[in-house]
Amino acid sequence: MRIALINENSQAAKNDLIYTTLKKVADTKGFEVDNYGMYAADDAAQLTYVQNGILAAILLNSGAADFVVTGCGTGEGAMLALNSFPGVICGHVVDPSDAYMFMQINNGNAISLPFAKGFGWGAELNLTYIFEKLFEGEPGGGYPKERVVPEQRNAKILNEVRKVAFKDSLIDILKNLDQDLVKGAVAGEKFKELFFANCKCDKMKAYVESLLA
C-alpha cells in the first residue's frame, strides 16, 4: 500500500511529527509513505484544506496513492473537502476506535484528523494508536462481526449512489474549477517527484502535465 500524507497551512508545522509517526507504523506493515507536505508554515506552496481535497482526489484517482492521511484544525473541513470528489471516501477520525471501525465498516481510502483540537500531551501516542488500528486486519471485515453482511451490502449501495451523484469524471470536475486553485494544489515542492513516479493513469498524468506547463 502507498500512503500519501497531506497537511494544510494551519497545521503545517506538525508535518514532521505526523510523517514520522505514520511512517513508523507503515514500516511495520511494509507500506510506503509519500509526504506531499506542507512541510513548514512558510512553504512557498500553501495548501488550504479545500486544496487537500483536490490533491487527495488526484492522487487516489490516478493510482499515485492507495490511501490518504490528511486533516486540518478540527479535521472537519478537510473531511468535507475530500468527500466532495469521486473516488474518495474519507472518514473523520479522532481516536483509535474511530480508525478501526471506519476501516472495518466503511472501508474507505482516506482519513481526516484534527491536528489542533485536542492535540496536546500524548498527541503522538494517539496518532500512533490511530495508525495501528487503521491498518489492523482486512479492510471491510465488519464490526461487530455479526454485522458484516449488512455492512458490506450498505457499502455497495453507497458506492452505487456515489456513481450517480458524481456523473462527471474527476478530470472534467477539475477543469470546471478555478484553475489557479487546482494549480495551487499540485504546486508542492516534492509533488512532481512523487506523483509522476507513481501515477498509473495516463489521462490524469496528461492533465496534470498541462496544469504544470
pLDDT at 25: 98
What residues does each domain of the chain span? Answer: 2-212
- The predicted model scores a pTM of 0.96
pLDDT at 29: 97
CATH of domain 2-212: 3.40.1400.10
pLDDT at 186: 98
Q: Per the structure block, which three cell numbers stand in for 66?
A: 492507495
Mapping DSSP to helix (H, G, I), strand (E, B) and coil, where does residue 31 land?
coil
Q: Per-residue pLDDT tens for 24-37?
A: 999 999 999 999 99
Low-confidence residues of the chain: pLDDT under 70: none
Burial 155-178 (b: 16+ CB within 10 A, else e): beeeeeeeeeeeeeebbebbeeee
- The answer to whether 56 and 28 are in contact (CB under 8 A) is no
Half-sphere exposure of 22 toward its Cβ, with a 13 Å CA cutoff? 24
pLDDT at 111: 98
Cα–Cα distance, 119 to 193 (Å, whole number): 31
Q: Per the structure block, which three cell numbers stand in for 92?
A: 473523520
Q: Per-residue pLDDT tens for 38-79?
A: 999 999 999 999 999 999 999 999 999 999 999 999 999 999
Cα–Cα distance, 134 to 213 (Å, whole number): 38
CA 61, 165, 179, 46 dihedral sign is negative
pLDDT at 145: 86
Mapping DSSP to helix (H, G, I), strand (E, B) and coil, where does residue 125 land?
helix
Contacting residues for 105 by C-beta, under 8 A, at least 6 apart = 142, 143, 147, 151, 155
Strand order in the sheet with 67-72: 32-35, 2-5, 67-72, 110-114, 90-92
Between CA 71 and CA 118, with CA 27 as vertex, the angle to 5 degrees is 30
Cα–Cα distance, 213 to 207 (Å, whole number): 10
Enclosing H/E stretch for 20 = helix 15-29
